[in-house]
Each structure stands twice: as C-alpha cells, then as structure tokens.
Amino acid sequence: MTTAISVSGLVKTFGRTRALDGLDLTVRTGEVHGFLGPNGAGKSTTIRVLLGLLRADSGDVTLLDGNPWHDVAALHRRLAYVPGDVALWPTLSGGEVIDLLGRLRGGLDAKRRADLLERFELDPTKKGRTYSKGNRQKVALVAALASDVELLLLDEPTSGLDPVMEAVFQECINEERERGRTVLLSSHILAEVEALCDRVSIIRDGRTVESGTLSELRHLTRTSITAELAGAPNGLADLPGVHDLKAEGDRVKFEVDSDKLDAVLQALARTGVRSLTSQPPTLEELFLRHYADELAPNGKHTAAVSR
C-alpha cells in the first residue's frame, strides 16, 4: 500500500451550501501532508468525511484501503484524530480522557504517554473545563500521539499552543515520520507546514487548487532578485516572466516567474553580474496567491508581501 488517503471528486452539501465541490486529495503512506486552505474552505469537512462522521454526496474516498463510511470500526483502530476544537467531559480528568481515547483506539503506549505528558508539560489531574484551549489541545494530542496507530488526522492541532509547545509538537511529528506513520496536518501556521510537510495540498471553496511538494509549488510562483550589474540592464523589462522591475543605475530589483528564472539569469549574466541575491518564494506567498486574489488584483499582492 503506497497511498494512505485517496479522495477524488468529493462533493458534500449542507442544504444549499456546497461545502466540498469536487475535492481531490492524495496522501502517500509515510508522508506528512500539509492541508491548507482559508477558513471555511472545507478542511474540517473533508476530515469528517474521512472519519465517516459525514456521508459524502458523491466522489470516491479511500482511507487505508477501506471505505470510511462502511468500515468504521476496522479503520478507526488504525488512526487517531485531533479535532480543531477539542471539548472534554467536565467530570473527567485529562489523564482519564487520554486513557479512555487510547483504549478505545486499540492501545496506548504507557511509556510514550508519560514521555509526552512531560514534554508537553501537561497536568493530567485537572478536569475538563479547567484546562485552557491550548491545554485541551495537548490532551487530545497526547492521546493521539501515544496511541499505536498508522495514520494521524490532525485538524489545526496547534492553534492554541505557545511557541515552545509548537516546537515540541514539530519534534513529535518528525518522530512520527521516522516511525513510518502517515500524517494529514491541516494548519494555518505556515512555518509549521514548511518545516514539517513533505507535500502540500491547498484547497479553496471546497476544491483543490494546488497539490505537490513545496519545491514543485515554488515553481508556480515568483522569485525575488536583487542584483548589481556591470552595465545598464538593457531589455530586462521585455523578458517574459519579469515583473515589478525597479532599476536605479546599475542596481535592479525585480520578481521573476520561477519557471522563467533560467532565461532571466542568462540575460543578467550576459550583462555581467557583480552581486546577486535571490529569495525563493515563501509558502506565505504561495498561500496568499491562492487565498487573496479576491482581495487584490492578481500580481499586486505578491509585491506587497515580498520581504
């Protein structure tokens, strides 16, 4: 088995709202897959369909070679889920919830549980509502990470964690990858996705707009170049793929479509280059390119966010 999750043409409507509109998603076994999209794009709905909580209207969904709607009990033994909004039973302590969820999944590694409690600095004796949002998330994370499962479905698991805990989380996910577990990580924290994910899918309005490795996606966007040239930058502005050119004597600053980079660099080299810095596109730019085009006309926002 090389594919842990395979979704194609998934449609889910709630009344008149079309939450998922032909979504595609492929997660390979053993990878950490970033699942990105603006609020309301359909990330949580997709995860709920994968968990068999929602029934898909149409489309094919395969999870660990099974059907998430029909093979619930068999599949759920092999996965763990951390919801975006973690609720706990008011009368149960955090430790009790961790044990209960672990046992219901089919086993908890006691040593790993103790280790995780320590690393996340979580007090397991407090009860339900006395935990803060971040600590409730830690309860769900410890329960999921200490479970003996193949697949982790994490829905914005770190939205309430502080930066120190965020670092602990990243360590833990890297350990999971080393153990060969598959992770679907829905997140808004781009640094986290950049640090952790092998591949990324970006969705919007219930549809997948980009999918691939980060380097593949970077080809789809622009690199910022600042260079000091030996002579006047003749004809640079006319080259295909060059945008927002600013020239000051011999110094030029511009953006170039990543797939035209080679031709542009050759043109620069012909003029002669004294110094050159290039900045690869950040995930943030990728993200904004797909999210924000209703906010600003295409092209302008890229310049606005370049660092």
Partner 1 sequence: MNSLTGTRTLVRLALRRDRIMLPVWVVVLGLVPASTAGAYDQLYPEAKDRASLAVGGNNPAVAVLYGKAYDLTTAGGFTAWRYGVFLGVFIGLMATFTVMRHTRSEEDTGRLELLSAGVLGRNASLTAAVLVSGGASILIGLVQVLAMAGSGLSATGSLALGAGVAACGLVFTGVAAIAAQVFTYSRTANGVSCAVIGVLFLLRAVGDSSPSAQWASWLSPIGWIELSRPFAGERFWVLLLPLVLAGLLVAVAFQLQPRRDVGAGLVPPRPGPATAAAGLRSPFALAWRLHRGPLIGWTLAMLVIGGVFGAIATGIGDLVGSSEQTRVMFERMGGAQGIVDAYIGALGGIYGLTAGVYAVQATLRMRAEESALLLEPLLATKVTRGRWAASHLAFAILGPAVLLAAVGLGTGLTYGLRIHDVGTQVPRVLGATLAQLPAVLVMAALAALLFGLLPNLTGLSWAVLTVFLLITLFGPILQVSQAVLDVSPFSHVPKLPAAAFTATPLLWLTGIAVVVFAGAFAGFRRRDIG
Q: Which is nearer to partner 1, 35 or 81 (CB)?
A: 81
**Judged by CB under 8 A, does residue 136 bind partner 1?**
no
Give the range of 21-29, 75-83, 210-218, 252-260 binding partner 1 by CB under 8 A: 75-83
Tokens of 210: 């980009």
Task: Considering the complex, state which of residue 87 and residue 164 has its C-beta at the smaller distance from partner 1.
Answer: 87
Q: Which stretch binds partner 1 (CB under 8 A): 78-86, 206-214, 216-224, 294-302?
A: 78-86
Asked if 103 contacts 45 with a C-beta cutoff of 8 angstroms, the reply is: no
**Distance from C-alpha of 39 to C-alpha of 277, rounded to nearest angstrom:** 35
Interatomic CA distance for residues 44 and 105, integer angstroms: 21
Looking at beta carbons only, is 91 or 275 nearer to partner 1?
91
Q: Which is nearer to partner 1, 126 or 253 (CB)?
A: 126
Q: For partner 1, which is the closer residue by CB, 100 or 263?
A: 100
Sign of the CA dihedral with 173 first, then 290, 294, and 42 last: negative
φ/ψ of residue 241, rounded to 5: 90, -5
Q: Does 76 bind partner 1 (CB under 8 A)?
A: yes
Q: Is 101 in the site for partner 1 (CB under 8 A)?
A: yes
* Cα–Cα distance measured from residue 39 to residue 64, given in angstroms and rounded to the nearest whole number: 27
Least distance (Å) between residue 153 CB and partner 1: 8
* Residue 148 CA from chain centroid, whole number: 23
| Pairwise CA distance, residues 74 & 76, whole Å | 6
**Which residues, numbered 8-67, are part of the site for partner 1 (CB under 8 A)?**
48, 51-55
Other C-beta atoms lying within 10 Å of the C-beta of residue 40: 13
User: For residue 296, which amino acid is it?
Assistant: A
CB 125, min distance to partner 1, A: 4
Residue matched to tokens 């890297």 = 174
Q: Choose between 99 and 255: whose C-beta lies nearer to partner 1.
A: 99
Chain centre to alpha carbon of residue 89: 29
247: amino acid identity, one letter: A
- Where does this chain touch partner 1 (CB under 8 A) — which range of 96-104, 172-180, 234-242, 269-277? 96-104
Task: Choose between 125 and 275: whose C-beta lies nearer to partner 1.
Answer: 125
Instruction: Report the residue from 79, 116, 227, 256 that binds partner 1 according to the rule CB under 8 A.
Output: 79
Q: Is 153 in the site for partner 1 (CB under 8 A)?
A: yes
Nearest to 172 by CA among 123, 131, 112: 112
CA distances from 34 to 37, 73, 147, 211, 275 (A): 10, 26, 21, 10, 36
Q: Given candidates 58, 60, 87, 303, which one binds partner 1 under the rule CB under 8 A?
A: 87
> Which residues in 186-245 contact partner 1 (CB under 8 A)?
none
Write out the residues near partner 1 by the rule CB under 8 A: 48, 51-55, 72-74, 76-77, 79-81, 83, 85-93, 95-101, 103-106, 124-127, 129-130, 140, 153
